[in-house]
Amino acid sequence: MSGYVYDLPTTGALSLSELCIDITGSHAANLARATEARANVRAILKASRRTDAGERDYLKVVKALDDYIPFINAIIASVAADDLTLAQEPGKSCWRSTLSHSTLSDPPRINVQGLHSELAFVLYSSAYALSNLSAASVASLGTYERDRALPDADRRAKDEKLSFAVKLLCRAAGIFTHIAQVVIPELGKGVGGPRPPELREDVANALAKLALADANVLSVRKLLTRSAVEAALSPGPPLPQGHPAPALVAKIHLHIASLFASARGLTDTSQRKLSLLKSRGGADSAEMSQDIRRYLEEESALNEALAHKWLGVDAGEANRTGDAVGYLRWAKSELESLKEGRLARFKKSGGDGKMKKERSAEEIESVGMFLNNYLRTNDSVHFQPVPTSSSLQATIPAGMPVMTEKAYEAPMPAFGPGTPDYVARHVQKLDLEDSGTPPDSEPKEDDRDYGLKGSYF
């Protein structure tokens, strides 16, 4: 699997030159540049939505958003410093909600209030695009690790591309966490009205866990690449040379399952709060997307089953064949349930549901090979009792993470407070107060860079 793929939002037109009143008289050019950067974001998001899924340029989306973020940060800081004021309080912008459940083909269009709401949607869009770029990168790899004829140089290049996809998801997780911990709390300072899922802290935290879980899933794949060719040629025991310790693989899957389960729990919490607010005539306006909630449920169950598989393999390799049979029967039962039950009802897209069923079928076949081998050995050599799944539950170890999120660092504002020029001009103004000489009023061009420049693809 390549990870969850988001439908990117679109946004309505917004003139920041009209929204903001330039009190100092020195930001007309900056506001014009900010309006231009946002118009570029709007155009690229709209173009991406109209492009076929396999041809979307998510890097271009990330670049446009990275160009705009310093401007919205600058405007927020300038309003706080009374260098700018808003023509209407609070400022309003229009976005399509990616996370709202909708029975229509297009998600609902919503009006959000306040500059921090605008910043939240922009950062969400950046995290979505990074996640989708990761998924597109992984999809382009195919099953290269099983290709015995692949030259070593090509294999290394694909390994690096897989590692890059993991890093993109870690970046996305950091952005979601920043939205939850820094941006959304600012909404309570004067912005009321309906809140879509994007502006709920529980939801942002859930998406951070989702992205991090997807990153750890890819890290397991990377861990297994060295032995993938041999494992494909000779599936089942004994494990091929270079195969990672099955206990390690199991612990990573346990951690992944806990991340997905925790994320699902957060979305459930958000839904309960929504139901309570609705019963009291509250303001929250939209239910969470069913696609995301199903994805979290299915991936949690799948990774738990895979953890049981590898715990069984670990037991079998240590000649604890009774435990091995117990774990592998448990894993097989869970995988069959997923294949025939909930996975078959996963409705995000026909292609995605088909891939999930195929993945479950492949894992069932793999589990069956290990199970049959260890069962024969146990029945003919070791004669160990086979524990039930309930008794095995007490022996399951704690999960182990291999990837952590990359903390988001907000870029320097494009102008105003927080920039060297702003500080220098204010110092110069103080120094020249008695001389009557006006300080330089023209801001210098800053040499900003976008987040993925120079990265490997």
CA separation, residue 51 to residues 98, 133, 296, 342, 457 (Å)? 17, 15, 27, 31, 21
Residue 457 confidence (pLDDT) above 50: no
Please give the Cα distance from 75 to 20 (Å, whole number): 8
Residues 6+ apart with CB under 8 A from 351: none
CATH architecture of 234-402: Alpha Horseshoe (1.25)
Question: Which single residue is written with the structure tokens 């448990």?
Answer: 330
Q: Strand 20-22 and strand 109-113: pairing?
A: unpaired
End-to-end CA distance of the chain: 19
Q: What is the pLDDT of residues 226-282, one digit of tens each?
A: 898 888 888 889 999 889 999 999 999 999 999 999 999 999 887 776 665 554 445
Query: Using 50, 70 and 90 to split pLDDT, how confident is the model at 304?
Result: very high
pLDDT reported for residue 421: 82
Please give the Cα distance from 432 to 439 (Å, whole number): 7
Say if pTM beats, i.e. exceeds, 0.85.
yes
User: Would you call the peptide bond into 70 cis, given omega within 30 degrees of 0 as the criterion?
Assistant: no
CA separation, residue 276 to residues 61, 97, 280 (Å)? 37, 21, 6
- Top pLDDT among 377 and 1 is at 377
pLDDT reported for residue 289: 84
In the predicted model, what is the mean pLDDT of residues 35-45? 98
In the predicted model, what is the mean pLDDT of residues 350-374? 82
Q: Count Cα atoms within 13 angstroms, Cβ side, for 309.
A: 28
How many CB atoms neighbour CB 150 within 10 A?
A: 14
Lowest model confidence (mean pLDDT) among 32-36, 233-237, 404-408: 233-237
pLDDT reported for residue 7: 93
Q: What is the pLDDT of residues 109-135, one digit of tens each?
A: 888 889 999 999 999 999 999 999 999
Please give the Cα distance from 119 to 73 (Å, whole number): 8
pLDDT reported for residue 200: 92
Coil vs helix vs strand at 130: helix
**Positive or negative, the Cα torsion across 112, 271, 131, 215?**
positive
pLDDT reported for residue 348: 46
Please give the Cα distance from 415 to 429 (Å, whole number): 17
- Top pLDDT among 209 and 452 is at 209
In the predicted model, what is the mean pLDDT of residues 345-350? 47
**Positive or negative, the Cα torsion across 63, 68, 70, 73?**
negative
Closest C-alpha among 402, 412, 406 to residue 176: 406
Q: What percent of the chain has pLDDT over 70?
A: 84
Which DSSP state fits 345?
A: G
Q: What is the mean pLDDT of the chain?
A: 87
CA separation, residue 35 to residues 116, 257, 334, 406 (Å)? 16, 43, 53, 30
- Encoded tokens for 409: 């660092």
- Top pLDDT among 106 and 208 is at 208
Query: Using 50, 70 and 90 to split pLDDT, how confident is the model at 189?
Result: low
Cβ–Cβ < 8 Å for 225, 159: yes
pLDDT reported for residue 283: 47
Q: Where in the chain is the domain with CATH 1.25.40.280?
A: 234-402
**Positive or negative, the Cα torsion across 64, 67, 69, 71?**
negative
CA separation, residue 174 to residues 179, 221, 297 (Å)? 9, 22, 22
